[in-house]
Structure 1
Amino acid sequence: MDNFLAVVDDDDDVTTQYAAEQSMRDYYRQRNTVTEVHQKSVRRILSPEHDDIVTAIRSGQEESLQKLTDKTFAFNEADQRGWLPLHEAAVQLNKNILELTFEASNPTVREQTTLKGETPLFLAISHGLVENSNFLLLNGCNANAADWEGDSPLVIGADAKSQAADGASVMFEAAAGGNPDALTLLLDYGADANVSNHSGHLPIHRAAYRGHYQALAQLISVTDQDTIEESGMSPLHSAAAGGHPDCLQLLIKEGFDVNFMLHHRVRKGYDDERKSALYFAVSNGDTQSARLLLEARALPNQDPVKCLQVALRMGNYDLINLLLLHGANVNYFCRVNTTHFPSALQYALKDEVTLRMLLNYGYDVHKCFDCCYGDLPHFPDGYEGWTPAVIKDTMFCEVISLIWLKHLSGKLVRIMLDYTDYVKLCSKLKATITEQKEWPDIQHLLSNTRSLKHLCRLKIRKCMGRLHLRCPVFMTFLHLPKRLKDYILYKEYDLYGQGRLTALH
């Protein structure tokens, strides 16, 4: 459509030209395409006066333009882009040029759009020309005029450059550009901030995504909460997706719900079916935004793919620790890689720092030593390496005995024993770790009684429950010495915390 060129038979017949162009636009809007052959065969014929007018406008020659104002027909001719001289004047810095062009143009075309759906007001807003915008609004241009796709003039879903191409909202353009003066102007002239585009986005979403703090502050007061809920998404999602902690902080301060979840119709646009604003922050590796949301009591376990799983996959210690500190479920199960033991361990097999974090926050170690075969062989007759179970199927002993992982088995089991009392090794796991250098130490622990101090710690942790271990803030309610609390929480094995302290010193 960008290259569509129409034929004009009579330069003086403005009405016929305009009707023909509108008809052809409707046709190609339905077709949504123009063949290459037709593009080459059709040409728009413009008068010499039109070319002189456009040249005068672009060069800012007021006197030359004044002399041409009596050529009314030429001011109503559109080029191959659908641009009238009025569109050209709307994007010029010289407001006098716009005023002259506006007066010379037929009133019937003052709201005409380009082939990309841009009104003169839209173009003035998109170029940040507030004085031009003010002039157009003062002279009756509609801040809420819908584009030829039927979208509200307040809404557009693409970025600043493609917004004009989509032919949409002057208000949305102002929000995307973060122009507070333009927003104020449009709002003063009745622009509606509560009309969404075809994808459901409101101007407040665009301002939050772009990180335009002042524009966002303006839009908060004029955007209805009911409209935001109907859109299926919160500006918090937009601010988190765009990575703008200052905007997040403003929205939280203004009372936006940090646990507002994406509507299903929005979620289905993401392969991971994410729901929370926190997920956007975590997936961006944005620790600052994630901290703001968590400190405002965002729930970390609401998404189908857990935020902790995303942080583990990224290997981001700060995010992992932050999520665990605010109650992320260390014992989640992944829907894709089905295992009998909690899935988080898969990301910590080679990383003791991460492994210790998981174990300190209540990882279910006993699940790793739970094997249905026990001392029996693991390959009975007819065993094909898979069972009818859909989830929680593959056992730890099967995973860690794989040829490319078995060299990690000794160190992994030795660390796990710091968080257990007595465990029994199945035949396969035992056969695997007896080949490792850690086997003598493991054998010593398994064949001797653990210390009373260690057993007491395990008992207290069991009484606390995994929910309390996931949220160490509960420890503040226990009337125990700090040294004892640290022991219960395995602070001596907190490699992440020790590393941070070392870095600070």
Structure 2
Amino acid sequence: MAVAHVSMPGITGTNLEFADYSFYSNLSDNELMQLAIERSLSDAQSSGPGSQNSNNPAALNMPASPCQAPPSHRCPQQQLEPTACPANPPRETINPKGVCSVSHFVTGSGKRMVAYRRYDGTMQVAPEPEEELEPIVKAILDDDVGTVRLLVKQPGCNLLTPNKDGWIPLHEAAYCGQDQCIKILLRAQPGMVNQRTLERKTALMLAVTMEHLACVERLLENGADPDIANVEKETPLYKACEKENPAIVAMLLNYGASVNKNCIQGWTALHETVCRNNVEICEILVKAGAKVNMANMYGITPIFVAAQSGRVDALRMLLKNGADLNSQAADGATALYEACKNGHEDIVEFLLSQNADANKPGKTGLMPIHIAAQRGNDGNVIGCTYKNARETNIVAMLIPATSKARVRRAGISPLHLAAERNRNDILEVLIEAGFDVNATLSEGHSMMYEDRRSSALYFAVMNNNIDATTMLLEAGANPNLDTFNPLLVALRQGCIQTVTLLVQYGANVNAYIPTHPTTFPAAVMFCLKYLTLLKYLMDNGCDALSCFNCDYGSNPHPPIKTRRNVRYDLDETTEKTCVQFCEVISTETYSHWAGPIIDVLLDYVGHVKLCARLIEHLDSYHEWRCIKEKSMPPRPLMQLCRLKIRKLVGINRLKKICKLPVPPRLIKFLNHQEREREF
């Protein structure tokens, strides 16, 4: 804390810090204020023309500011961090010279601060200097009507002088609810009733915002225009609806406020009132001529707002007054569409009871049932059970009102969206309602996915949703509709349960990928790391013989070209050749598994000749020599017989052979179960 020094008779000016401070701290508030005034006068005299500081005792003993105190009168800490004297207001003002930027901010306690950043990089923060209040403004804030009346009569009182925010005394009176002050001010200067602040707010707008009914009435009586809007084109009527004050709304309408004037986004007072579900004000506005079908800049009508925000009471009132139930916004959405989107079950039920059209799609082509099917979270999310049940009920209500022919023309089924979002409960409801489980995406919708998926089953398998996959397959879903077979997705994920389900319901174990041609089934390529899955596919009819067909045979093979994220050259003239099994198994990923993979495949083929590359792999490990010998002719007669029987009987009939009077040992032999293998 800085030490103040005061001249005292009989005391020298040296080493008087503690004595001076003791005297200074014992002064009363009035004495301190008088001392500050004397000091201020002495500073002014010492800095004036012709004055000399050496002849002024006050100048010798009282520094102009703590930072300007003589060095001998400062302690070391004060020299480093000069602070203002607590009993010597006002504090030192910041000199803005040399400042490169100024920023204003508000502290957590609401105190306004200003930061000055200088060219040398230093920053100084201080309280923002408060604007000095005019006497008449101070009188208004103090509700001193008598002083206001006296000041208005003074010749030098200018009622039109604005402050830094463009506020005049009339604005202050309206904001503070001083209706008597408003009366006095308007009597003295009636033409300022509609003057605006920098934010283009009139005194009427401020009074409505603060809900000062008496002030609103006083201003309207004195000619305030109720239709003057602020910078966002919000009128006082709009603000009154926002504040849900029916008395002010009625008063503004009685004084001629325009009921259908819209804000900068086309929002009217009725829109705002409907959003707040205030039926009383809605009825006041409608009786005053509010248009119930007036749309904002996005084509949104009040009934759309009611459905979007779940305001059933306001919705009933609008329909009773002739609102268009099936009006569409700019994006084609209807009130029913928006209610489904936001999960308002009661709104959906009411709209359907009023015969709302459930078959009107938006511009995206989706209908209300699509939006309801894709909405919500999967069942694993905590706390969403009630929400999911509510949305399932919405779908159930929409099903009778939805045309399945219109759904087919949409190019996407709600089954797709339910499966994509893991909505098993909705998926079950839709299946029970008879929606086609084999409906495919239109080309436009399919192209939105890189893998060109088309069936609902693909979505379920991609999400590894076993329950949804089971429901779809049991309902008759075809597992072979997609370009990229769902079985390949399940194999890539390594989910044996999904693979088993798909194969049991007829998935093609010999599926190929048109965009990546191979000489062997693509299913083999996706399960080379999972020998159990590979054996399961072979047991169910996967073509093992194609894995041993090689264009090079016993001749030397060309080196493998590894391409990582490289496109084919545009001037490439040769056609893209099919990838062979020996090329895939020779990659770094699978080469160390080559022996066991070939061993499994040999159990499902007869006489084959290994190509040079496969022999090279088997020769690379001593333990794989027996696998190479296994491939050499002649193959055992029992193996050849087994292959012949399996081919003649067929895989499907072979699965049912256990029901025939055949020895169990023969059944195990035909199913390659005569000995257990460990992988």
TM range (shorter): 0.7 to 0.9
1:46 paired residue number: 229
1:121 paired residue number: 303
Per-residue deviation, residues 262-319 of structure 1 (Å, max 9, x unmatched): 2334333333332211112222222211111111111001111111122223333332
1:417 equivalenced with 2:602 (yes/no)? yes
Q: Residue 310 of structure 1 is aligned with which of 489, 494, 504?
A: 489
For the residue of structure 2 that corresponds to 1:75, the secondary structure is coil
1:280 paired residue number: 459
Give, in whole Å, the separation in 2 of the partners of 1:363 and 1:371: 18
Identify if the C-alpha distance between structure 1 residues 209 and 338 changes in structure 2 by more than 3 Å, giving closer, same or farther: same
Contact 1:205 1:235 in 2 (8 A): yes
Give, in whole Å, the separation in 2 of the partners of 1:81 and 1:140: 24
1:143 paired residue number: 325
Give, in whole Å, the separation in 1 of the partners of 2:605 and 2:531: 17
2:401 paired residue number: 222
* Structure 1 residue 413: Cα displacement: 0.9
2:26 paired residue number: none
Per-residue deviation, residues 345-378 of structure 1 (Å, max 9, x unmatched): 2222222233233223222111111123322333
Question: What letter is aligned with 1:353?
Answer: T
1:174 equivalenced with 2:357 (yes/no)? no
* Structure 1 residue 67: Cα displacement: 2.9
Q: Which has the higher contact order (CA 8 A, sep 6+)?
A: 1
Give, in whole Å, the separation in 2 of the partners of 1:95 and 1:413: 78
Contact 2:234 2:264 in 1 (8 A): no
2:591 paired residue number: 406
1:200 paired residue number: 365
Per-residue deviation, residues 388-410 of structure 1 (Å, max 9, x unmatched): 6656x221112222355322211
Give 5+ residue unaligned stretches, structure 1. Answer: 1-10, 12-43, 152-167, 381-385, 500-505
Question: What letter is aligned with 1:303?
Answer: D
1:65 equivalenced with 2:249 (yes/no)? yes
* Structure 1 residue 481: Cα displacement: 6.4
Contact 1:411 1:438 in 2 (8 A): no
The TM-score normalised by the length of structure 2 is 0.57
C-alpha RMSD of the superposition? 3.3
Give, in whole Å, the separation in 2 of the partners of 1:88 and 1:428: 77
Question: What letter is aligned with 2:327?
Answer: A
1:463 paired residue number: 648
Contact 1:50 1:75 in 2 (8 A): no
1:163 paired residue number: none
Contact 2:244 2:273 in 1 (8 A): no
Give, in whole Å, the separation in 2 of the partners of 1:174 and 1:478: 59
For the residue of structure 1 that corresponds to 2:603, the secondary structure is helix
Q: Flag the structure with higher helix content.
A: 1
* Structure 1 residue 467: Cα displacement: 6.2
1:112 paired residue number: 294
Give, in whole Å, the separation in 1 of the partners of 2:584 and 2:480: 26
The TM-score normalised by the length of structure 1 is 0.75
Contact 2:512 2:521 in 1 (8 A): yes
1:270 equivalenced with 2:454 (yes/no)? no
Q: Residue 96 of structure 1 is aligned with which of 280, 294, 310?
A: 280
* Structure 1 residue 190: Cα displacement: 2.9
Question: What letter is aligned with 1:312?
Answer: L
Per-residue deviation, residues 190-246 of structure 1 (Å, max 9, x unmatched): 311122222321111111222621111111111122222222222222222222111
Give, in whole Å, the separation in 1 of the partners of 2:591 and 2:657: 37
2:266 paired residue number: 82
Which structure has the larger Rg?
2
Contact 1:357 1:494 in 2 (8 A): no
Per-residue deviation, residues 116-163 of structure 1 (Å, max 9, x unmatched): 2221111111111112212111211111123346x3xxxxxxxxxxxx
Contact 2:416 2:456 in 1 (8 A): yes
1:327 paired residue number: 506
* Structure 1 residue 331: Cα displacement: 1.0
Contact 1:125 1:133 in 2 (8 A): yes
Identify if the C-alpha distance between structure 1 residues 478 and 260 changes in structure 2 by more than 3 Å, giving closer, same or farther: farther
Give, in whole Å, the separation in 2 of the partners of 1:358 and 1:433: 23
Q: Residue 446 of structure 1 is aligned with which of 608, 631, 653?
A: 631
The more displaced of 71-80 and 279-288 is: 71-80
Give, in whole Å, the separation in 2 of the partners of 1:273 and 1:485: 41
The more displaced of 44-53 and 302-311 is: 44-53
Contact 1:409 1:436 in 2 (8 A): no
Contact 1:89 1:101 in 2 (8 A): no
Contact 1:137 1:189 in 2 (8 A): no
* Structure 1 residue 454: Cα displacement: 5.0
Identify if the C-alpha distance between structure 1 residues 483 and 135 changes in structure 2 by more than 3 Å, giving closer, same or farther: farther
* Structure 1 residue 493: Cα displacement: 8.9
* Structure 1 residue 479: Cα displacement: 5.3
1:426 paired residue number: 611
The more displaced of 240-249 and 440-449 is: 440-449
Give, in whole Å, the separation in 2 of the partners of 1:137 and 1:475: 68
The more displaced of 396-405 and 84-93 is: 396-405
Contact 1:356 1:494 in 2 (8 A): no
For the residue of structure 2 that corresponds to 1:185, the secondary structure is helix
For the residue of structure 1 that corresponds to 2:254, the secondary structure is coil
Give, in whole Å, the separation in 1 of the partners of 2:525 and 2:399: 43
Give, in whole Å, the separation in 1 of the partners of 2:258 and 2:501: 65
The more displaced of 443-452 and 223-232 is: 443-452
Give, in whole Å, the separation in 2 of the partners of 1:433 and 1:387: 36
Identify if the C-alpha distance between structure 1 residues 80 and 486 changes in structure 2 by more than 3 Å, giving closer, same or farther: farther
Identify if the C-alpha distance between structure 1 residues 446 and 494 changes in structure 2 by more than 3 Å, giving closer, same or farther: closer
Identify if the C-alpha distance between structure 1 residues 401 and 47 changes in structure 2 by more than 3 Å, giving closer, same or farther: closer
Contact 1:262 1:276 in 2 (8 A): yes
In the alignment of these two chains, the number of paired residues is 427
2:521 paired residue number: 342
Give, in whole Å, the separation in 2 of the partners of 1:454 and 1:343: 25
* Structure 1 residue 82: Cα displacement: 1.6
Give, in whole Å, the separation in 2 of the partners of 1:91 and 1:134: 13
* Structure 1 residue 457: Cα displacement: 4.0
Q: Residue 533 of structure 2 is aligned with which of 339, 349, 354?
A: 354
* Structure 1 residue 425: Cα displacement: 0.9
